[in-house]
Amino acid sequence: MLSQIKKTVDNPNKSPDEKLGDICKYLANEIEVFDWVGFYLVDPEADEELVLGPYVGEETNHTRIPFGKGICGQAAETNETFVIQDVSKEDNYLACSLEVKAEIVVPVKKDGEFVAELDIDSHTKDSLTEEHRKMLEEVCSIISPLF
């Protein structure tokens, strides 16, 4: 799995955005419980705001998210991974679709600085494992050169 991600990052024929899109598709295809996979990027033009980047899955209204808002905004503010097994128990959560039950958000760091995040929604409660978390943290470290 990680070797495929490395290959995608090293592909000389694609732009960084295309590569991020390919990685979303790959993760969504490979892992059954990953139903929405996308990237939010720090908007350099805005003050502490995320902007939606490449993704696969249902369209979302949350194309811009201020730091601190929702799970995505909290991950941006703290530069830490968030694993939520049951979104209905969260107060600071932005709903994309009623089908979403669990969510993981993993920061992407460049030279230690938060630059983007990988956001994954699952339609299955309690479906996100420690292996998923470790694998996705590795993915986010491998893709850091794309930012």
Residues that bind ligand SME (CB under 6 A): 36, 60, 62, 65, 70-73, 93-94, 96, 103, 119, 121
Phi-psi domain of 108 (left: phi exceeds 0; alpha: psi -120 through 50; beta: other):
beta
Closest-CB residue for ligand SME? Answer: 70
Q: Shortest approach of ligand SME to residue 86 CB, angstroms? A: 13
Q: Shortest approach of ligand SME to residue 6 CB, angstroms? A: 26
Q: Shortest approach of ligand SME to residue 50 CB, angstroms? A: 9
**Among residues 9 and 117, whose Cβ is nearest to ligand SME?**
117
Return the beta strands (E) in 18-112 as ranges: 36-42, 49-56, 64-66, 82-84, 102-110
**Among residues 21 and 70, whose Cβ is nearest to ligand SME?**
70
Tokens representing 82 are: 């968030």
**Among residues 9 and 114, whose Cβ is nearest to ligand SME?**
114
**Among residues 17 and 59, whose Cβ is nearest to ligand SME?**
59
Phi first, then psi: what are they for 100, rounded to 5°? Answer: -75, 130
To the nearest 5 percent, what fractions of the chain are helix, strand and coil? 35, 25, 35
